[in-house]
């Protein structure tokens, strides 16, 4: 092909033709390389409960970079509350919609590391890959997005080290497996297929509405701000008949309160509590420029109850 192009464009004393020839040859080389390169998906989203005080996160990233030097690693967070699978599942659920098809999520929240729990790769129906322990981390993503398939990580060429550590699978199993996926290798080679119905799930209770009101739960606090995160969707809360501007009677644990339902924090006076729909579409409870959790002594999990509008 290149020989034909050279003959076609070798016109004597015509610099423009020579410049065009160079361009065509460069493009031809790029296309040739594209045909032989792996189908790479070089983005990894990395989440752990390791914290950042020691070298654990950097070591895992080093493993990934050693396999795919130009991989993009996005830190979702490394401040998951230690051992909190439910919190890891919540952060994963919140972040995945904002990443494209083909993204690889490496998640290490693994309180039973080294036990009989499986190390797995899961592919969702949104064509995203999850490299993590089989301990319930996928529960919320599974319920929303659906799963296409799952495989156990058993192929030693997708791991590092001849003698795997019993306590650092983030380095030895999850990081290399995630990097091989990001490089575009065939994920079916990672190990045997698993039955989706046998994956471990968290027992997460849904909020319920009956004739008296809504029963839900405070499931977390929102980072350093102390806002309460609930398992109550905006759709569920609005079934109670409240509109913004109204005061809502709510019981949080053993605390009975009346809190205005508003659009945003500054809709109430400074240091006053409010109910609002948070950025994830759930009922939130906060204090304007204050820490609700600290001020009112509420730590998750805590039950909440909200009466229907108009009921005494």
**Same domain flag for 254 and 191:** no
| pLDDT at residue 31, as a whole number | 43
Angle between helices 15-36 and 2-9 (to 10 degrees): 170
Structure tokens at 36: 């032989």
In this prediction, residue 39 carries a pLDDT of 56
pLDDT in tens, the chain (312 residues): 445 444 444 444 455 455 444 444 444 444 444 444 455 557 999 999 999 999 999 999 999 999 999 999 999 999 999 999 999 999 999 999 999 999 999 999 999 998 999 999 999 999 999 999 999 999 999 999 999 999 999 999 999 976 688 899 999 999 999 999 999 999 999 999 999 999 999 998 889 999 999 999 999 998 789 999 999 999 999 999 999 999 999 999 999 999 999 999 999 999 999 999 999 999 999 999 999 999 999 999 999 999 999 876
In a domain, 203, yes or no: no
**Which residue segment(s) compose the domain that 119 sits in?**
43-198
Task: Please give the backbone phi and psi of residue 110, each rounded to the nearest 5 degrees, phi first.
Answer: -140, 65
pLDDT for 42 equals 78
Task: Establish if 184 belongs to a structural domain.
Answer: yes
The verdict on residue 312 lying in a domain is: no
Q: Which of 138, 107, 109, 113 is nearest to 123 (CA)?
A: 138
In a domain, 86, yes or no: yes
Both 50 and 194 in one domain: the answer is yes
Q: Is 209:201 a contact under the CB 8 Å cutoff?
A: no
27 backbone dihedrals φ, ψ, rounded to 5°: -60, -40
What is d(CA 124, CA 130) in angstroms, rounded to the nearest whole number?
8
* Beta strands, E only, the chain: 43-48, 72-77, 104-108, 119-124, 129-133, 147-152, 208-209, 213-222, 227-233, 247-252, 255-260, 273-277, 282-287, 302-307
Are the CB atoms for 303 and 216 separated by under 8 Å?
yes
**What is the model's pLDDT at position 218?**
95
Residue 301 and residue 178 share a domain? no
Q: What is the dihedral of CA 180, 79, 74, 230, to 10 degrees?
A: 110
154 and 248 inside one domain: no
**53 plus 120 within the same structural domain:** yes
Task: Quickly list DSSP for 3-31.
Answer: HHHHHHH--TT-HHHHHHHHHHHHHHHHH
Number of domains comprising the chain: 3
Same domain, 212 and 125: no
The 8-class DSSP code of residue 291 comes to -
């Amino acid at each position: 092909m290149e020989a034909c192009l050279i003959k076609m464009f070798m016109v004597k004393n015509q610099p423009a033709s020579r410049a065009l020839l160079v361009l065509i040859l460069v493009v031809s080389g790029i296309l040739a390389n594209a045909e032989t390169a792996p189908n790479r998906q070089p983005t990894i989203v990395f989440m752990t409960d390791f914290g950042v005080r020691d070298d654990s996160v950097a070591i895992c990233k080093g493993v990934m970079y050693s396999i795919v030097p130009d991989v993009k690693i996005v830190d979702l967070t490394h401040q998951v509350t230690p051992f909190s699978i439910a919190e890891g599942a919540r952060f994963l659920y919140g972040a995945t919609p904002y990443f494209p098809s083909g993204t690889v999520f490496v998640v290490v929240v693994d309180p039973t590391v080294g036990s009989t729990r499986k190390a797995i790769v899961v592919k969702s129906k949104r064509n995203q890959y999850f490299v993590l322990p089989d301990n319930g981390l996928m529960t919320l993503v599974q319920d929303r997005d659906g799963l296409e398939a799952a495989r156990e990580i058993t192929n030693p060429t997708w791991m590092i080290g001849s003698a795997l550590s019993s306590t650092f699978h983030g380095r030895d199993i999850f990081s290399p497996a995630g990097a091989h996926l990001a490089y575009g290798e065939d994920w079916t080679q990672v190990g045997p297929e698993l039955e989706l119905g046998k994956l471990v799930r968290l027992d997460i209770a849904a909020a319920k509405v009956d004739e008296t009101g809504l029963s839900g739960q405070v499931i977390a606090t929102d980072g350093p701000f102390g806002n309460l995160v609930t398992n109550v969707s905006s759709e569920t809360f609005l079934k109670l008949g409240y509109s913004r501007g109204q005061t809502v009677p709510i019981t949080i644990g053993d605390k009975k309160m009346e809190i205005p339902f508003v659009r945003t924090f500054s809709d109430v006076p400074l240091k006053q509590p409010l109910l609002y729909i948070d950025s994830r579409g759930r009922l939130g409870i906060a204090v304007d420029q204050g820490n609700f959790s600290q001020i009112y002594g509420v730590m998750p999990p805590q039950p909440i109850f909200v009466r229907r509008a108009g009921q005494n």
